[in-house]
Amino acid sequence: GIRTDDPDYDVVIGGFHIANVGNGYCEPYIEIWDRDKETTENGEARAVVVEGRIVAVDIINNGTGFRRAPEIRIYDDGKACGTDGGFGARIYPIMNIIPKATAKKSQIPIEVVYCPAPRQKNLF
């Protein structure tokens, strides 16, 4: 496996899973809380709202160097719509592992073929 502190790889936000679309959202603000760096300046996302529900999340900045999945917080005061704001949405990050440009070549084969023929040599 790959460790999150491996110098050859970077862990970034690759997408979002919307577990609950919530209700009553107008102009929600999504905060990405990096638990290890204790900052909200590592990544940026914008919610797509349809009829008061968060139906998608656009990634503006994937962030970089995550050690753990960040916490996703959603704020909406409702002022733009004249309401009390939205509630109930649950959004979770989907993390991606990206090889760094300076990474050494992996010794793990990219494609392995198993040949059951008696005279063929298998890689593993």
For 99-114, give one letter per residue: b (16+ CB within 10 A) or e: eeeeeeeeeeeeeeee
Task: Give the pLDDT score at 109.
Answer: 52
Q: Quick one: how many helices (H) and strands (E) in the chain?
A: 0, 6
pLDDT at 90 over 70: yes
Task: Give the pLDDT score at 48.
Answer: 96
Task: Give the pLDDT score at 114.
Answer: 54
Strands (E), 62-89: 71-75
- Report how far apart the first and last C-alpha atoms of the chain are (Å, whole number): 18
CA triple 9-45-25, angle to 5 deg: 150
Please give the Cα distance from 85 to 67 (Å, whole number). 32
pLDDT digits (tens, 9 = 90+) for 46-80: 999 999 999 999 999 999 999 999 999 999 998 98
pLDDT category at 103 given cuts 50, 70, 90 is low
